[in-house]
Chain A
Amino acid sequence: MLNITINGAEVKAQEGATILEVARDYGFYIPTLCYLEGHDSYGACRLCIVEIGEGSRRRVVTSCNYPVEEGLSVQTDTKKIIGHRKLLIELILSRAPNSKTLQDLASYYGVEKIRFKNKNDDCILCGKCVRMCNEQMQSGAIGFVGRGKNLKISTPFSKANEVCRNCGACMYICPMVEVQCRGPKTTGDLCNGCLRVTPTCVEVYDRQMCYVEDCGTCVRPGSKPTGGKSQKK
């Protein structure tokens, strides 16, 4: 067992484990999009970045593929990291804004504006589906095709292929399939409904149900937040 510190807390870690695994074991929240438990780490989404080291040797690494070492000091939520994550979320969102997973992340980190050109894609190239298909389903039906800005997920020759068993695992783990909640804004916009909700439903449901249309959600910036009772459409 190795001794490391995460956010100042001394924890024990198994040799060979990654920072992300240890941090999640101890309940530290690190957001990820491309991490898939039990599969190869890919390090594509970069959301799992943490700061390691002390003083002048401090640096930013992706925790999902950084193995722990003795005496490692990890900071998961410094100002720098939060800033980086906000920019990353903004960039990923500008690529695929119609995903609830991404919109929720944006609200969680307080990203309120997308400064980049909206691409309205349906894929963030996290490669989860590729690894799922290859490693767990042992199928290898889909993969990365092309490179650079032409990179996409596809089947060989863009044809339906015989090795695909239509198991649907690729869709099951895709962070993009969960469609955006129906707030007052149109698709392709940043919702941020969860940011401005007056949490009346929290008492009842124990969590914010921002995808329920009538739940006093999505108060526009500038307007007065409505209470649970007074909101009527």
Chain B
Amino acid sequence: MKILKGHGAMMKREEIMLEKIFKKYKLQKSALVPVLQDIQAEYGYLPEDVLRQVARKMKISLIEVFGVATFYKSLSLIPRGRHHIQVCTGTACHVRGAKRVLEEFERDLCTCAGQTTEDQEFSLETVNCVGACALGPMVIVDGGKYHGHMTATKVKPCIRKITRKEAE
């Protein structure tokens, strides 16, 4: 019963949140992208039922919403992990061995680029340039922590650092 109750409360909270987002943009059709961005920021991804609600509320066909959601790279249909790791595979980073760094991340986290680990802790993604080519290969953790000059050997310490910070 307790779980059910919790779930109900959660539903309500989500509904309020959605209402707030819809109210903010006054349900204009042109506001689809900012609405999806806000939902992405709140949930960390775009759940299917929420996208259906968006389509219904904004009077846009579901496929149009889905098309926009799959078009932009910053919008994700699968849940992102608590820590988001971006590995730059742009030209400069690629030349300096970003592929090896990415492979090492994939091996250590047991996931593929664009996926999330099973325990929902990490999500891995490739990006194409972050504007710090001189420091390549670049790895960005949680959108703000820039790790330059990455090598495959630095991957394990990097992950350990994130998890240790979490434990403290």
Contacts and interface: CB of A to CB of B under 8 A. Distances in A.
Interface of A: 134, 140-147, 155-157, 161, 163
Given A140-B64, A156-B63, 9 more contacts: A141-B63, A142-B63, A143-B64, A144-B67, A145-B63, A146-B70, A146-B71, A156-B62, A156-B66
Contacts of B61: 134, 140, 143, 163
A163 B56 CA distance: 12
Contacts, number: 33
Interface string B51-77: 100000000011111110011000000
Contacts of A146: 70-71
Interface of B: 48, 51, 61-67, 70-71
A146 B70 CA distance: 5
Contacts of B63: 140-143, 145, 155-156, 161
A145 B64 contact: no
B62 A145 contact: no
A141 B63 CA distance: 6
A183 B168 CA distance: 72
Nearest to A158: B66
16 contacts: A134-B61, A140-B61, A140-B64, A143-B61, A143-B63, A143-B64, A144-B67, A145-B63, A146-B71, A147-B70, A156-B51, A156-B63, A156-B66, A157-B66, A161-B62, A161-B63
Contacts of A134: 61
Contacts of A144: 67
Nearest to A130: B63
A71 to B, nearest CB: 37
Contacts of B62: 140, 156, 161, 163
B79 to A, nearest CB: 15
A134 B51 CA distance: 19
A155 B48 CA distance: 13
A144 B62 CA distance: 12
Contacts of A155: 63
Contacts of A147: 70-71
Given A134-B61, A140-B61, A163-B62, A145 B48 contact: no
Contacts of B70: 145-147
Most buried by A among B51, B62, B65: B62
A163 B52 CA distance: 12
Closest 8 A/B residue pairs (Cβ) = A140-B61, A143-B63, A156-B66, A156-B62, A143-B67, A146-B70, A147-B71, A145-B70
A145 B62 CA distance: 12
A139 to B, nearest CB: 8
Most buried by A among B48, B64, B70: B70
A183 B31 CA distance: 53
B90 to A, nearest CB: 16
Most buried by B among A144, A155, A157: A157
Contacts of B66: 143, 145, 156-157
A230 to B, nearest CB: 56
Nearest to A150: B70
A145 B51 CA distance: 14
A188 B17 CA distance: 52
A132 to B, nearest CB: 13
A93 B17 CA distance: 49
Contacts of A140: 61-64
B58 to A, nearest CB: 13
A142 B64 CA distance: 9
Nearest to B51: A156
A212 to B, nearest CB: 40
A161 B48 CA distance: 13
Most buried by A among B61, B65, B71: B61
